[in-house]
Amino acid sequence: MQVATQVEINSQTPIGANRNIPDDPTPEKAWVFYSGNINYDVKCTGIVEHSIRNGKLGAAKPLNEAQILEAVNQLDASSACSTSMIPEQVLLNTPTRLAWYSKRRVGVMWIRNGGTHHLMVEWPPLLWRVDFQRQPVLYVRALLHNTRPSEKTRTFKAPLMNISDNGAVCQGTATLPRQIDIAAIPAIEATIYESVFTHVNGRDTFAGIGNDNSRHIAKWRSLAQSTGRVRRGDLTLCETVGEFIGGRA
């Protein structure tokens, strides 16, 4: 294998967007990738490392797989990227989708019905999903328990107004944050917990009530007066958690 040993190196060549790289970096090593056919069916790729002195490549040193992995791990360990623990509530976090669950909570529910009213209620556990490949869309389902759900856990229609049959939230003026990430979860939840509900969007937000605004509000008013919580019999069964958070965007 012939190796070039007198290649000029331009130290001003852009080498990445890492803000911690100095303005005038000094190249020290270079990897060169070689490939060729062993036979007609098998292609071989090799990597060699060159030291750099006075802007020129030195002699090549072949690298084995272990050496390559060690070098990559060292680069990763010295990366300027910050790391953080993923909260227990987060179920899915991809470049285009974020899903998590929230536990029961006691708080105010705002409703506009011939005026704006508020009820002190116990909100059920909720399952949240935001798709943000394009315009962010929030989907919400209800859960039965406070524990972290599995893929096979069954979901239910959220017993809330302004949510369609497929779980999509009619945001109205309660807009989602521009930046969708784990840090934005409280702001996303606020578009539900702190919004003013106006109308039933889907059927059977509570089992058997159809899409009747009055019956929906009456059910929540009854729960508020009795300090009761939403029960299994109140809810309309839907898909599994895995199907919901893995569904089409």
Please write the tens of the pLDDT for every residue from 39-61.
555 566 788 888 888 888 888 88
Domain boundary among 61, 83, 105: 83
User: pLDDT, tens digit, for every residue of 62-95?
Assistant: 888 777 777 776 665 554 444 567 899 999 999 9
Question: Does 241 share its domain with 128?
Answer: yes
- Count of other CB atoms within 10 angstroms of residue 16: 8
User: pTM higher than 0.75 for the full model?
Assistant: no
**DSSP assignment letter at 211:** T
Question: Does 98 share its domain with 210?
Answer: yes
Spatial CA neighbour of 161 closest among 131, 185, 179, 140: 140
Question: Does 78 share its domain with 130?
Answer: no
Question: Does 78 share its domain with 103?
Answer: no
Question: Does 75 share its domain with 165?
Answer: no
Question: Does 65 share its domain with 163?
Answer: no
Domain boundary among 60, 83, 106: 83
Question: According to the model, what pLDDT value does residue 81 have?
Answer: 46
C-alpha pair distances (Å), 205 with each of 15, 108, 141, 202, 241? 55, 19, 10, 7, 18
Strand partners, 107: 121
Question: According to the model, what pLDDT value does residue 38 have?
Answer: 58
Question: According to the model, what pLDDT value does residue 70 have?
Answer: 76
- Count of other CB atoms within 10 angstroms of residue 34: 14
- The Cα 230–Cα 223 span in angstroms is 8
User: pLDDT, tens digit, for every residue of 156-193?
Assistant: 999 999 999 999 999 888 889 989 999 999 999 999 99
Residue 222 has pLDDT above 70, yes or no: yes
Residue 100 φ/ψ, nearest 5 degrees: -160, 175
User: pLDDT, tens digit, for every residue of 109-151?
Assistant: 999 988 888 999 999 999 999 999 888 999 999 999 999 999 9
219 vs 71: which has the higher pLDDT: 219
Question: Does 101 share its domain with 58?
Answer: no
Number of structural domains found in the chain: 2
Question: Does 153 share its domain with 62?
Answer: no
Question: Does 59 share its domain with 115?
Answer: no
Question: Does 19 share its domain with 118?
Answer: no
Question: Does 156 share its domain with 52?
Answer: no
Question: Does 45 share its domain with 150?
Answer: no
Residue numbers of the domain that contains 31? 1-83
Estimate the share of the chain in helix, then strand, then coil, as percent rounded to the nearest 5: 20, 30, 50
Domain boundary among 18, 52, 83: 83
